[in-house]
Structure 1
Amino acid sequence: MCPKSGINVRLRGKPRRKAYMSKILTVDDDKELTNALKLYLTSLGQLVEVCDNGEDALQLLSSFDYDVIILDWSLPGISGHDVCKTFRERGGQTPIIFLTGKEHVSFLETALDSGADDYMVKPFEVRELFARIKTLLRRRSGTYVPELKIGNLTLKPESNLLITTSSEIRLRVKETALLEYLMRHPNRTFNAQQLLNAVWPSDSEGTTNSVRTWMNLLRRKLESIGQTDLIKTISGSGYMIEDKEA
């Protein structure tokens, strides 16, 4: 039972498989609720960060990139409504799902007018929340692709498998996350700081040196299957995967 809202977040059964990784910011001062959401979404392979007030949320959103924001309507200090409105006014495009105990249509209208993409009333089924997260991600990227392919290389993020026409290797979770991010954004260059922001939690002890270390480990794995030149280093800019068919 979540103390602030008085609801049960029902985590029935185990997830069937891990989904592809997205970076989710959850903003709610109900710690039991956010802990339950983080536990469930993390079990599905998502990278979840939590904060409990609007001021900290705006600070995180100004410093880091997220794929989805889960935002409570009633926050201490700056309200969820004001967080959403301010974020949109600053040019933020990340999809936002509001959580609230208010069912009246006027709250729904206010939430959507402030820039929210979706709205869930407590109590809710956490699997429905994740289904809506996936819908927003599909809408944002155009489609959900559980397998990523470039040339003769296939990455299966849910199982950390990297497959070519003649071989198959299993990656570590962080190696998968780095490779997945670059493959989902082909022909774009990302420096170490950008990759740190995208793949590591903001409260982790990771540094740009951590990114370079994991990138070297990933490249060794790629070399072992004949993919030496897959990740290109652009001098003075960062890392890129080229996809001529993209």
Structure 2
Amino acid sequence: MAGDAVYGTGGIIESMKILVVDDEMRIARAIKQGLEQDGYAVDLAFDGEDGYNAARADDYDVIILDVMMPEMNGYEVTQKLRSDGCKTPIIMLTAKDQGRDIVKGLDSGADDYLAKPFSFDVLTARIRALLRRPQEAIANILEVDDLLLDSVNRTVSRTKQPLSLSAKEFAILEYLMRNKNRIVSKQSIMTHVWDFDSTILPNNVEVFINYLRAKIDRPFLPSPALIHTVRGFGYIIKDPR
């Protein structure tokens, strides 16, 4: 990760470097001040072109990007960065919480969004969630053995047989596959899959894991199971070979 080690309340932590791109200078500087108080290193840019150039010139851990800006808007900046091969997580700031704006932002390559005005605590929680993601999280096609997930077209298949999953099942499976061969806790699944305002219990995660096993593992016996419980720790999906 970018940045130098700094001391926090829990010992030595990595100093994360964040780029904030927003033409509303007051908002950008307020975000910078708050993040720096939390120990992050923060650079600012006040239009899309400067933001794009800054993102290309330095190594950032997260980019916070406003949509409506001069020179290049947030969608254009995101598309250019992704076409350049930049995999840095992007949180897009939208003026309105409108479905079409959110869809356009996510389809352009953003990883998350926040509608203005937003809670600073929510912003920092979203940043922490993105920083926990593995580097390969930007991939669209995920594979574990003969299980294939397409995150763009929202399709799943095993042995080339299409599988029908609910939205929540799909989200949990995608998170497991993005962390292939890593143990993920119930709390981690809850943080990444459910909204911050949702009331969710660990038992709900167990229920959905069972739903996934009923669709992904059991119908394909005697092929090896792909989803495994690691007692006391959580779950793992791994290639049996």
Return the TM-score normalized by structure 2. Answer: 0.53
Say yes or no: does 1:236 pair with 2:187: no
Q: Structure 2 stretches of 5 or more lacking a match?
A: 1-17, 90-133
Q: What corresponds to 1:125 in structure 2?
A: 73
Say yes or no: does 1:147 pair with 2:141: yes
SS of the residue corresponding to residue 243 of structure 1 reads: coil
Q: What corresponds to 2:151 in structure 1?
A: 157
SS of the residue corresponding to residue 198 of structure 2 reads: coil
Q: Distance in 2 between matches of 1:104 and 1:150?
A: 40
Task: Give me the identity figure in percent.
Answer: 24
Conserved 8 A contact 1:84-1:116: no
Say yes or no: does 1:224 pair with 2:174: no
Q: Distance in 2 between matches of 1:103 and 1:166?
A: 43
Amino acid at match of 1:150: V
Deviation at 1:234, TM superposition (A): 0.3
Q: Distance in 1 between matches of 2:26 and 2:60?
A: 14
Conserved 8 A contact 1:70-1:97: yes
Work out the number of aligned pairs and report it: 168
Alignment of 1:10-29 (within 5 A): none
1:84 to 22, 30, 35: 35
Q: What corresponds to 1:189 in structure 2?
A: 183
Conserved 8 A contact 2:184-2:234: yes
Amino acid at match of 1:74: R
Q: What corresponds to 2:116 in structure 1?
A: none
Say yes or no: does 1:177 pair with 2:163: no
Pick closer, same or farther for the CA change 1:115–1:148 going to 2, 3 Å. closer
Alignment of 1:14-163 (within 5 A): 74-75=26-27, 79-87=30-38, 89=39, 100=46, 117=63, 122-123=69-70, 124-131=72-79, 134=82, 136-137=86-87, 141=135, 144-163=138-157
Q: Distance in 2 between matches of 1:166 and 1:101?
A: 46
| Larger RCO (CA under 8 A, 6+ residues apart) | 1
Q: Could you say which structure has the higher strand fraction?
A: 2
Q: Identify which range, 124-133 or 215-224, moves more after superposition.
A: 124-133
Q: Structure 1 stretches of 5 or more lacking a match?
A: 1-67
Conserved 8 A contact 2:190-2:200: yes
